[in-house]
Structure 1
Amino acid sequence: MEISINRLQESDAEQLYKFETDNRAFFEQMVPSRGEAYYQFETFKVRHRELLTEQDDTNSRFYLIRDERGTIVGRINVVAIDEPKRVAEVGFRVGEHYVGKGIASNALKQLLETETGFQAIKGKTTSNNIASQKTMENNGFKKVGTSEEVFEFNGEKVMFVHYIWERTGNH
């Protein structure tokens, strides 16, 4: 599947809301809920505008992953940007009907090619999220450790696994 990543815009609100509500149950199997209010359209629109402001302030960069028809199939974000150190954190999610197709890996590759100003990008996932671990490893992220803190999520004991990607002459 051909995909592209595009910066989040005001006009994306309705389609993004549909993507988030359609995939809510799937996402909540892997990450904590964003809360009931997030899934009320009026609240969602407020949060959407807040993300756009944050993006304008250069604290974060939010991208939508779209297929060749323009349908949102996922999200990928660069957050916690530290401009002086040229370091940031990455996060991504792909909709339920699009997992297992290399979309996250392709989107992360595009992001690394687009966001050329960073010397290092950090990522983290849970110890049970093998797909996210592989996505990062397939894009040159190196595992740097696992947190000692164990927590229960959806009935399973998990820990955070931390990764880092560092720009070299090969990137």
Structure 2
Amino acid sequence: MYSRRDERNRHGRDLTFSLLTPEDAFELLAFETAERAWFEQHIEARKEQFYSSHGVSQHIIDCLALNAQGRMSPLLIRHKGVLIGRANLRDIDGENASIGYRLAACACGQGIAQKALKHLMKEARCMYGLETLTAVVSVENQASRRVLEKAGFDAVDKLPDHARVADRRLDCLVYRCVLRQEVECA
């Protein structure tokens, strides 16, 4: 019999993280469209033009251009081959970057966000040599705040009325984490 912890570990073994590619456009559009209402309850909505073949293809081109410049790492998260989320390092500037992730509703509460964040932290330190990561999250998004805090992020600033979520202005917190030198890069 599996315990909740066993279930989380099992999901963790079946997770893969891969760089976004142009070939992912159809799958990404389907994922973003299917999860749109869920995402828009928690984070700022994407522009309407994103939700088209052209919009997603342009988004991928833009992300990969930033990746080629070493300024972004746009990743897809899959569970047993099925797209369940995204995780990104953004605004990479030598020593610092911002992080962000979004998970399908069915993937929440299983420890996947924590695994995605740990993956981003390791990539930030080992591939980019970064020292500090930041994240902005609404005060109301308790789940994401817990994920960040559990990974060693601290709230360092408050941004009043920073985000528009579901036609409401929300206060946000800026979280920061100094990456440890001892992060294993093997």
Normalization by structure 1: what TM-score?
0.90
In the aligned structure 2, how far is the partner of 1:10 from the partner of 1:154? Answer: 30
Larger relative helix fraction = 2
Write the deviation string for residues 60-88 of structure 1: whole angstroms up to 9, x where unpaired.
11111111x211111110111111xx101
Check the 8 A contact 2:77/2:85 in 1, yes or no.
Answer: yes
Matched, 1:98 2:110: no
1:70 to 66, 81, 100: 81
| Structure 1, unpaired ranges of 5+ | none
Compared CA separation, residues 152 and 45, structure 1 to 2 (3 A): closer
Compared CA separation, residues 153 and 20, structure 1 to 2 (3 A): closer
Aligned to 1:165: 177
Count of aligned pairs: 168
Percentage of identical aligned residues? 27
Aligned to 2:70: 58
Write the deviation string for residues 74-131 of structure 1: whole angstroms up to 9, x where unpaired.
1110111111xx1010011101111111111111112212221110001110000001
Check the 8 A contact 2:72/2:91 in 1, yes or no.
Answer: yes
Compared CA separation, residues 140 and 64, structure 1 to 2 (3 A): same
Aligned to 2:123: 114
In the aligned structure 1, how far is the partner of 2:72 from the partner of 2:171? Answer: 25
Aligned to 1:29: 41
Compared CA separation, residues 121 and 151, structure 1 to 2 (3 A): closer
In the aligned structure 2, how far is the partner of 1:93 from the partner of 1:151? Answer: 16
RMSD of the TM alignment (CA)? Answer: 1.8
Matched, 1:81 2:96: no
Name whichever of 138-147 and 88-97 sits farther off.
Answer: 138-147
Check the 8 A contact 1:8/1:63 in 2, yes or no.
Answer: yes
In the aligned structure 1, how far is the partner of 2:141 from the partner of 2:97? Answer: 21
Q: CA deviation at 1:30?
A: 1.3
DSSP 3-state at the match of 1:115: helix
Q: CA deviation at 1:155?
A: 5.9
| Structure 2, unpaired ranges of 5+ | 1-10
In the aligned structure 2, how far is the partner of 1:139 from the partner of 1:11? Answer: 32
Normalization by structure 2: what TM-score?
0.83
Name whichever of 120-129 and 95-104 sits farther off.
Answer: 95-104
In the aligned structure 1, how far is the partner of 2:29 from the partner of 2:168? Answer: 29
Compared CA separation, residues 49 and 148, structure 1 to 2 (3 A): closer
